[in-house]
A and B are shown apart, each in its own frame.
Chain A
Amino acid sequence: AAGVIQSPRHLIKEKRETATLKCYPIPRHDTVYWYQQGPGQDPQFLISFYEKMQSDKGSIPDRFSAQQFSDYHSELNMSSLELGDSALYFCASSHGTGGYNEQFFGPGTRLTVL
């Protein structure tokens, strides 16, 4: 079965650089979520999109922005990178709205900021 695809899997950047993470949801899933997981930490919700509109916002820094495109893939843009941005970034997708909708997680993008 198709899963959530994230690219790149690994990314190394310098401080103050920009990074773009991509997420391709499971086919027919219309909702995408972004989470950040620091070393030894729980995943922290950043932002989500439903049908290309922002649906919820968590602890996403102003330096980060995201969007969902017409083909439902999503991109997380991170500017002025800081050392503390080094983390595993997960994308998850789900289908439908309201009540419980299982979120399927991708393998993550490991971002290292030097």
Chain B
Amino acid sequence: QKEVEQDPGPLSVPEGAIVSLNCTYSNSAFQYFMWYRQYSRKGPELLMYTYSSGNKEDGRFTAQVDKSSKYISLFIRDSQPSDSATYLCAMSVQRTYKYIFGTGTRLKVLA
């Protein structure tokens, strides 16, 4: 079983919809939780990071962490066609260096 599980999608939504992306994990030592956006043939680009449980908002994006359930979410409000990409969750244990990624969810926002 992978340490981080993520539904690969694809997920198709109409423009303006609220998108919910999720990851579950098994390693309770994870402390830092990141969401990356990856366009085709490009490197991952950091969208949000959170430390500890709770919500963090940045513009149209909200990241949510529930450590008791080992579950993280990324919400995208007022989704745009330019949001069409693969969204990867990543996690790391404090004071180590490597990220553990989910498989990524392909999102398509239809105009």
Contact = CB atoms under 8 A, between A and B. Distances in A.
Contacts of B45: 105
Interface string B48-92: 010100000000000000000000000000000000000010001
B43 A108 contact: yes
Interface in B1-26: 4, 6, 8
Interface residues of B, number: 27
A105 B97 contact: no
B17 to A, nearest CB: 25
Interface residues of A, number: 30
Interface string A33-46: 10100001111110
Contact of A107 (B43, B88, B103): B43
Interface of A: 4, 31, 33, 35, 40-45, 48, 50, 55-56, 58, 88, 90, 92, 97-100, 102-108, 110
Interface of B: 4, 6, 8, 31-32, 36, 41-46, 49, 51, 88, 92, 94-104
